[in-house]
A and B are shown apart, each in its own frame.
Chain A
Amino acid sequence: MATDKTNLQLVVNGILNENPIFRLVLSMCPAVGISTTVMNGFMLGIAVLFVQVCSSCTIALFKNVIHPRIRIPTYTLTIATWVTVIDMVLAAYLPEAYAKMGIFIKLIVAFAIITMRLEMFACKESVNASFWDGIGMGLGFMFGMMALGFVRELLGMGTLLGYDVLGFKPLLFFVLPFAGFFCVGLMMAFFNYIEIVYKRAKRA
């Protein structure tokens, strides 16, 4: 079975229609835990993008030799290998950012989104399509994380990417760790609201 979507459609699908954070509600741990700044979201997004694309391609390449009964362990080990790679690269070249991410880089291995994409997409499709699907999912995750970081950083500290934008701190609440839950909930509700308004406008 090959997908009939073009490469661009696959990418857009990951960012909008099946956004991992806001639509599929997967990999919420980092979305709540470390989305305090745009930079954090960007860094983790890059790491996830890398792991997603590499694992998708690997699985798409070897899909014919993987026995269906052991496919889940195979996926897990593939992901774990790529996570080890990105973990070591980040620890070596960006130690500061790595220290901020803490344990979350290593935990990419358990992010449901990656395994799910391998199971739903990469094990059936060509390497090319899997590559673009991986890019779409990775970017979707990255944008979701950055959107959360944007809201939390702007409202919590009045800064963006570390630069002072507002000059004051509107709602310090948002930068506190537990506010991740509230922020995700409120943003989801906001997107639902837009959707409802959009549908109503379409009908009228």
Chain B
Amino acid sequence: MKTIKIRRILLSLVLLLSLPVLAQAQELIAAKSFGKAKNEMVVTFAGAVDRRAVVEDPANYQVYEEQDPDIKLELAQVVLADDQKTATLTFKEPLNARLPHVVTIKSLGESGAAATFRVMKPYLGYLLSILVSALLINNFVFTKYLGLCVFFGTSKRKDTAKGMGLTFTMVIVVSAIMSWFFYQFILKPYDLNFLQIVVFIGLVSLTVQAVDTVLRKVNPALFNAFGVYLVLVIANCVIIAVPLILADNEYNFLESFMLALGAGGGFLLALYLMSSVRERMELANIPTTFKGVPIAFIVAGQFALAFLGFSGLTLF
């Protein structure tokens, strides 16, 4: 009896979820997405459209970002592909693919019907793109040049690098989430944005202290391994840069989480790469003047060059 009830609920849920899909299938538009270029949008019609002149007239389109409907985006041209199904909309200015856009097509089809639909990136892909961006494309150490003091200080041994990287990732995720709550629910509603720096750094100190205390009681072995790095976390610019960035960009909770995870992971990656090289360098024959820190800088520069290769990488 009970299982049937659950099954019924599940079925109706599935139906409810698939409603938008079903509704969309009946319409004129089969698929839509942002194009390859930054100022493009691709719309695929359900059937072949024979009225090329109508489809290719930019005046028949109205496009705006969902959050401000008053600002209409200007179209440069519309091109219908030879299969008469795919139209490419080219805009005068690059689109912000992060935001959902609303497109209205007037006088489409035989009856002159209008179609309105939303164009947005798949959200999961977008979240992952934030993660990958913070991890590789905008790696905080090699392309934003942040957190270098700790980076050079703790990258001599692989073990130290791992310890520092993991501790840092843990602290930054916790503190970024707390900063997000504080920013969204206290600083923004009460117009206290000028307190950003004080509040964020205070939260970081608090997190470090809390992690220190909790770890000491709950897992002494882990504390013995990672405790020494906790003090260093606070001297790392990345830990304060992440809350500032997520406040500037108005990220939501999941986006903030992904950014923090990417920043921490990126730091861990950079530390690990660097420590592998530095362990080898101890055996190498380096000119006396370059021994120690100078050669580490040169190596970091080469890593930075290599990381430049990730720029322009788009996965989703």
Contacts and interface: CB of A to CB of B under 8 A. Distances in A.
Interface of A: 25-29, 31-33, 72-73, 76-77, 79-81, 83-84, 87-88, 103, 106-107, 109-112, 115, 177-182, 184-186, 188-190, 192-193, 196
B20 interface: no
A76 B234 contact: yes
Contact of A185 (B197, B245, B301, B308): B301
A93 to B, nearest CB: 16
Contacts of A26: 149
A181 B297 contact: yes
A185 B234 contact: no
Contacts of B209: 73
B297 A76 contact: no
B205 A33 contact: no
A190 B290 CA distance: 9
Contacts of B288: 192, 196
Contacts of A177: 143, 145, 304
Interface of B is mostly: helix
Interface of A is mostly: helix
26 contacts: A27-B149, A28-B148, A32-B145, A33-B146, A73-B202, A73-B209, A77-B202, A79-B201, A81-B198, A106-B197, A107-B240, A109-B240, A110-B201, A110-B234, A115-B234, A177-B304, A181-B300, A182-B298, A185-B300, A186-B298, A188-B294, A189-B287, A189-B294, A192-B289, A192-B290, A192-B291
- Give the contact-size bracket for chain B: 35 or more
A106 B244 contact: yes
Given A80-B197, A109-B240, A72 B146 contact: no
A106 B198 CA distance: 10
Contacts of B293: 25, 185, 188
B64 interface: no
Given A77-B202, A110-B239, 5 more contacts: A109-B197, A110-B236, A111-B237, A185-B293, A192-B290
B241 interface: yes
Top 10 nearest A-B pairs by Cβ distance? A185-B297, A181-B301, A33-B145, A178-B304, A28-B148, A188-B294, A189-B294, A185-B298, A182-B301, A112-B235
